[in-house]
Amino acid sequence: MLCLLGFSGCDKPPEKSVLDGKWKTAPKSLSKDADSPDLSQNVAYMPRKVLDGSGYGWVMNAVKPWPSDSSLEQIGEHFKVAVRTSIEALDQILSDPALSPDEIASSRYSRSTFLNYLGDPLKAYEDLCLARKHVETNPRIAKDFLYTIIYNQGVTAMRRGENENCIACRGESSCILPISKAAVHQNPEGSRIAIEHFREYLEKFPDDGEVRWLLNVAYMTLDEHPEKVPSEYRIPIDRYVHEGNGIGRFRDIGEKVGLNRLNQAGGAIMDDFDADGKLDVVISSFDPTQIMGVYRNVNLEAFEDVTVQAGVSNQLGGLNCVQTDYNNDGLLDVFIVRGAWLTPALAMRPTLLRNEGNMRFTDVTSSAGLADPLNSISATWEDFDRDGKLDVFVCSEQQSNRLYRNQGDGTFVDVAAKAGVAGGEGMVCKGATWVDIDNDGWPDLFLNHLSRVGAQLFRNRKDGTFENVTRAMGIDGPTMGFSCWTWDFNNDGWQDIFATNYSRSIGACVQGMIGQDHSEAKSCLYLNQQGERFVNVTKDAGLEGVFITMGSNFADLDNDGWLDFYLGTGDPNLGTLVPNRMFRSIAGKRFDDITASSGTGNLQKGHGVACGDWDRNGSIDVFIEMGGAVNGDKYHNILFQNPGNENSWISLKLIGNTSNRPAIGARIKIQTDDPDLPVVYRHVSSGSSFGANPLEQTIGLGKATKVLSIEIEWPVPASADATKRLQRIDGPIALSRTLRIEEGVFPESNSAQ
């Protein structure tokens, strides 16, 4: 029966009345099967149910747990077997000539989801048509599920159009909203069929904001928006197109420079892994059968895929990754987390890759004591106990969190429970960021949860334990959090927090884009009130929209001295097509959405974000690991080349001695001769909890002509001489250069790279 495939699943209705306007009856659809009975006059149809059409949920439910000693290759094989055996089982069911129409419909719908998972929307669409044909023979079943099938017919056809155009014929402007003339679909059939089904759906349920948006996007791909969109369904995007004070148009050069791998969701790191002064790229993939990627920067002109030479061909899967230097040898190591979005029975071990030099890595996870399987999406490194060695906090979705203390001999011990930050099972920790809330030099910890637990803030007691100060410090949400980060967005010397909210309402997202109010929960921008408490300034900053944020990161993209940010957006649903977003800081007071003018609003799913000056021209570029949760929702990775500007900049590479070698946690204060930007504050970190910026800090200095002084507050061990914590370099210091500053070395010994 229909419960076989989940037709008895979530009965949550779709978004309704999420976009303003009065609805009229649309022209009658032509998509109805000619042989199907006309039930429209006799059946009170229900709106679509929120059923998984991508196959993600069905595959995850079909995967059988693996033995605890399974290799990553063996785990990947479990996923392959789950898909293959599920399709075989459905084919066996469908071979039964005595199957009833509703059983055929259920099995066909189920089969379509597995085909979408594999990336075959053509065959998936055929199964949906067959499912529809049999549903329409039974008014009782048609009442509940016909329009669910119609919706999925539209989404599957839409994905076909994306595959045949944005992926197969990829160009610089592919899938970027607004769709340019160069990106109009040359193979239009997918979008044409999608339009037919979306209009058919809206004829019956005109208040569905998500379907209205997808209809408009389909017309955009054919260069027929807004003129050919029926007026009652038309969504104007003029406000989105013309909003914000732009900084120029970025170009997607990923394909040109060798960073255009086609993959599922994953993590991204941009940093110097071979110590040659150039920024390389490391990526991971949610796909448990796909290896990570390692790319060497070649002469600041392109990237070479050195994954095999790096010795990581057996490193499969992992939704996120981050750099570290756990052994203080001056070579950046890599930490990969796995098991996100899965059940506890499908927990996976992380990986710690030790850098052996020359872009070669060794898996030391087990010997380091880090091999416990977890369901994790995020990890963040910091010297929390101030002993000169980097420790790591690992978010867990299903188990307790881990705080691994570095013992200095290549091993770690979990002290989360003793420290008071283990949390509880099922708290769904999605993001973590270290933040010094009171400028005492000791890292405190902010956690973002995808649960009603809400965000939490823990103060470092300086004795190996933490105190929950969430309410006392004014932290109240988000309750459905995802990525987060620490920054000083208003340049006052006190670290602030941005915590994204993972509302997945497409209707509310579009409302924000076109300037309408919405009722969904919002992200939270917390302004630090000089260590006393935090104030939520989201509204004043112009960030009350719904963005459906997953990956993210921040940087000064126009070198004006104020930090901007980029959001990767989406969810596992194939129909979630909303632009990734870029925001520009306006003097640390508010943020303008400059997505359209910057040309960075790609509609495909954005995950790990890494912002860095890969070509050493002084302007920070943006790399995004792209793709959804299934093979049928893959996309090419993107490198957005910054158009550049005339503002001043300096880049600082800090080298710790008694502090941890990459100087994670170090505070930077730069004084300039620009009266409008006399002081700029930064701190050394990889940025967001979902994406990793270089630890080297490229710092915009506005209209400054020289640097008057640089002050470094090193994260020295607590036992060290306190007078060695602060290091000052007096100017004048020339601009437009990379300066290597080593802890405790006299200024004249520091050399520019």
Residue 271 one-letter amino acid: D
Residue 35: per-residue pLDDT: 53
Question: Residue 8: its pLDDT value, please?
Answer: 34
Residue 719 burial by CB count (10 A; 0-12/13-18/19+): exposed, middle or buried? exposed
Domain termination residue (choose one: 607, 622, 641): 641
130 vs 27: CA distance, rounded Å: 24
Number of domains in the chain: 3
State the residue range of the domain holding 70.
2-235
What values do phi and psi take at 715, rounded to 5?
Answer: -80, 60
Last residue within a domain, chosen from 641, 669, 685: 641
CATH code assigned at 720 = 2.60.40
Give the strand pairing for 481-487 and 606-612: unpaired
Q: What is the pLDDT of residue 7?
A: 39
pLDDT, position 170: 87
How many C-beta atoms surround the C-beta of residue 586 within 10 A?
Answer: 16
CA atoms of 180 and 117, how far apart (whole Å): 29
Specify whether 607 is located in the same domain as 724: no
Please choose, from the candidates 354, 367, 393, 264, the residue with its C-alpha nearest in 3D space to the C-alpha of residue 318. Answer: 264
User: Strands 268-271 and 360-363: what pairing?
Assistant: unpaired
Residues 582 and 676 in one domain: no
Q: Which residues contact 126 (CB under 8 A, 6 or more apart)?
A: none
Indicate if 653 and 606 belong to the same structural domain: no
Q: CB 300: neighbour CB atoms within 10 A?
A: 13
195 shares its domain with 90: yes
Query: Cα separation of 281 and 668, whole Å?
Result: 25
Cα separation of 738 and 584, whole Å?
A: 24
Supply the DSSP symbol for 140: H
Contact by Cβ (8 Å): 631, 118? yes
Tell me the three state secondary structure of residue 348.
strand
Q: The CATH number of the domain where 601 resides is what?
A: 2.130.10.10
Query: Based on the domain organization, do 143 and 283 belong to the same domain?
Result: no
369 and 448 fall within a common domain: yes
Using the 3D structure, point to which of 641, 659, 679 is the last residue of a domain: 641
Angle, CA of 435, 441 and 446, to the nearest 5°: 15
CB neighbourhood size of 515 (10 A): 12
CB-CB contact of 430 with 419 (8 Å): no
Give the DSSP letter string of 82-133.
HHHHHHHHHHHHHT-TT--HHHHHHHHHHHHHHHHHHT-HHHHHHHHHHHHH
State how far the Cα of 283 lies from the Cα of 295, in Å rounded to an integer.
9
Q: What is the pLDDT of residue 39?
A: 55
| 308 and 197 part of one domain | no
Contact at 8 Å (CB) between 160 and 185?
no
pTM, two decimal places: 0.94
Q: Are residues 706 and 600 in the same domain?
A: no
Contact 650, 737 (CB under 8 A): yes
The answer on 634 and 710 residing in a single domain is no
Q: Give the angle subtended at the CA of 317 by the CAs of 316 and 321, to the nearest 5°.
A: 110
Do both 354 and 260 map to the same domain?
Answer: yes
| Sequence letter at residue 616 | R
- For residues 658 and 618, membership in a common domain is answered with no
Same domain for 359 and 507?
Answer: yes
Q: Consecutive sets of 10 residues in the chain, 753 residues long: mean pLDDT of each?
A: 37 37 31 53 89 94 95 98 98 97 96 98 98 95 97 98 95 95 97 99 97 98 98 96 92 97 98 98 98 98 99 98 99 99 97 98 99 98 99 97 98 99 91 98 98 96 98 96 98 99 95 91 98 98 97 99 98 97 98 98 98 98 98 98 98 98 99 97 99 99 98 96 91 95 73 39
Side-chain-facing half-sphere of 341: CA atoms under 13 Å: 21
